[in-house]
Amino acid sequence: MKSLVVYSSQTGNTKKLAEAVHEVLKGEKDIYAIADAPDPDGYDLVAVGFWLQAGKPDLKTADYLPKIGSGKRLFLFATHGAAAGSAHAKNAMDHAKGLAPDADLAGIFSCPGEVNPKILEKVKAKPQTPVWLDDAPNAIGHPDSVDIEKLKLLIDSL
Ligand SMILES: Cc1cc2nc3c(=O)[nH]c(=O)nc-3n(C[C@H](O)[C@H](O)[C@H](O)COP(=O)(O)O)c2cc1C
């Protein structure tokens, strides 16, 4: 089995998850930042990692996911300011799956990721603050070693 890990990460949170996924995957495996990502053809399993932007996968990931068609196993992972298991995070993961409707979903993982303080200041100043803002203080220090271990266990069980 040949696996590809592709990740989009501005501040490094999702990159940490991507490196953990890559470490645990068995068989032949490649890892790429999304800007350099190859075509997913030629891979059996594609793990795509992203950060949430406006309640959805970031734009680069939203462009990449439709390239993953039928016959591919897809593992989705993400970081976000929102709480783990929140409706906001779940909706975003559902949205991501919808961008690759023909792929065979092998698994999903998401966890909080510390939000850049400058971004938080900007978001707080908006007249209408997003739902994830209240959760953002709890994302400080994430992804942590517990998040990474949970993800590794999931990947190990694929
Ligand atoms: C412009 C911008 C928009 C964001 N929008 C959301 C959002 O809609 N929901 C959310 O939970 N987190 C949001 N975040 C927080 C990031 O998704 C989170 O901090 C993530 O861990 C960043 O990942 P990275 O370090 O891999 O770039 C946003 C961050 C930025 C910079």
pLDDT in tens, 105-118: 999 999 999 999 99
Ligand 1 atom 4, closest CA: 53
Distance (Å, rounded) from C-alpha 81 to C-alpha 75? 21
Q: Does domain 2-156 have CATH number 3.40.50.360?
A: yes
Specify the pLDDT at position 124. 94
Mean pLDDT of 10-17: 98
Q: What is the pLDDT of residues 47-90, one digit of tens each?
A: 999 999 999 999 999 999 999 999 999 999 999 999 999 999 99
- Using omega within 30 degrees of 0 as the cis cutoff, is the peptide bond preceding 38 cis? no
**How far away, in angstroms, is 65 Cα from ligand 1 center?**
18
| Substitution site in 15, 21, 51 for ligand 1 pocket (most atoms within 8 Å of beta carbon) | 51
Atom of ligand 1 nearest to the CA of 8: 26
Six-digit token pair at 134? 């209240």
C-alpha to C-alpha distance for 30 and 32, rounded to whole angstroms: 7
Sketch the domain layout of the chain as residue ranges: 2-156
Q: Is the CB of 140 under 6 A from ligand 1?
A: no
Nearest-atom number in ligand 1 for the CA of 142 is: 21
How would residue 101 be classed by pLDDT, with cut points 50, 70 and 90?
A: very high
Amino acid 153: pLDDT: 98
10 lines ligand 1 (CB under 6 A): yes
Alpha-carbon span 52 to 89, nearest angstrom: 8
Predicted TM-score (pTM) of this structure? 0.98
Please report the pLDDT score of residue 151 as a whole number: 98
